[in-house]
Amino acid sequence: MKTFDVYPLFNIEPVKAEGSWLWDKQGKKYLDLYGGHAVISVGHTHPYYVGKITEQLNKISFYSNSVLIPQQTELAEKLGVLSGYADYNLFLCNSGAEANENALKLASFHTNKKKIISFSKGFHGRTSLAVAATDGASMQAPVNKTENIIMLPFNDEAPLEKNFTDDVAAVIVEGIQGVGGVQIPTTSFLKKIEALCKKHNAVFILDEVQSGYGRSGKFFAHQHSGVKPGLITVAKGMGNGFPIAGVLIGPEFKAVHSMLGTTFGGNHLACAAGIAVLDIIKMENLVENASKMGNYLTEALKTIPGVKEVRGYGLMVGVELEIPCAPIRSALLDEYSIFTGSSSDKNTIRILPALNIGKQEIDIFLEAFNAVLSKTLVNK
């Protein structure tokens, strides 16, 4: 048997990682400014994180949600305090797609309606309803096509108001669009969604799968705009590489046995990883560091010739170039051993480093990026 060939791969095999660095099997060292799609939040193999998982592994790694798992309660309480949503409840699952799938389902249960508004360039996952709400025809099989999704232009309030009726169960929007090229919803747009949801008895869902967990310089990106959604989905940075995700559920939602469920979600080992991440974020002030280092990075990027626009908050940064970014990313990796990310916008590079990255690592990237871009523009 072979693996199903659905991923284009770099010819690199990492075998060791620490902080913001990776080493391949030949011993070559790489600077990681992408964190495997914003997953590495507290740095590779953080000793506290490794210790917590190892300690739990030596006790019990898994049992189903048919028994008491006190680690779930600890995780929920710590997440509530750090995020500012202590009055919400937490449903634990395994991935961002699963979190969004459950959030959409919960919204439909709550409102007894089925129409969902989502937005252009949005990405919410690859499972049935999540991918239907995603702006990506190549990801959608015929079975994913549904008339229940209303796809509207992102950051455009007029069509939103025009298409918002009492039939709408929920609106789902990313705190910052990741795959879409690090596009930020305006405060006015988010407040309009919030107001229309209240008017039409719909649920406001904030997809913070990539933009949450301190990455934006606040715990959640939507907190830059002062809105309060009914449901918030989280994943990527939540486990620093261990599969864990969740839905933060407002107090107005009533839990009923069997309405949601999961085999692996909230298992002992996943909770140990999630608790370790929250502890490190708090102990090392990583939300503040994301804001500080993000400001330093974005201000420096704006001064580099060939950069058209820099978008984002904190350490979720999109660098739009005046030229396609693929050759620039390749040169950074091949010549300077630096990982960066792409997006659906062919000119935009995504920078998503660990939240504990320091100025020294950022300066290494800035020097390399400036050199590669300058060389490319001269030779163009």
State residue 380's pLDDT score. Answer: 67
Q: What is the pTM (predicted TM-score) of this model?
A: 0.97
Which parts of the chain register pLDDT below 50?
none
Q: Do domains 14-46+286-379 and 47-283 have the same CATH topology?
A: no
- Pick among 3.90.600.10, 3.90.1150.10, 3.40.50.800, 3.10.180.10: CATH of 14-46+286-379: 3.90.1150.10
Nearest-angstrom CA–CA distance, 229 and 80: 14
CB contact at 8 A, 337 and 29: yes
CB contact at 8 A, 231 and 207: no
- β-bridge partners, 92: 246
Residue 84: Cβ within 10 Å count: 13
CB contact at 8 A, 92 and 264: no
With H, G, I as helix, E, B as strand and everything else as coil, classify residue 6.
coil
State residue 378's pLDDT score. Answer: 76
Backbone CA torsion sign across 21, 23, 24, 28:
positive
Domain locations along the chain:
14-46+286-379, 47-283
| CA-closest candidate to residue 52, choices 274, 243, 272, 268 | 272
State both tokens at 370.
Answer: 């400036």
Can you list the pairs that 7-12 forms with residues at least 24 positions away whose Cβ atoms lie under 8 Å? 10/333
| CA-closest candidate to residue 79, choices 320, 255, 281 | 281
CATH topology of domain 47-283: Aspartate Aminotransferase; domain 2 (3.40.640)
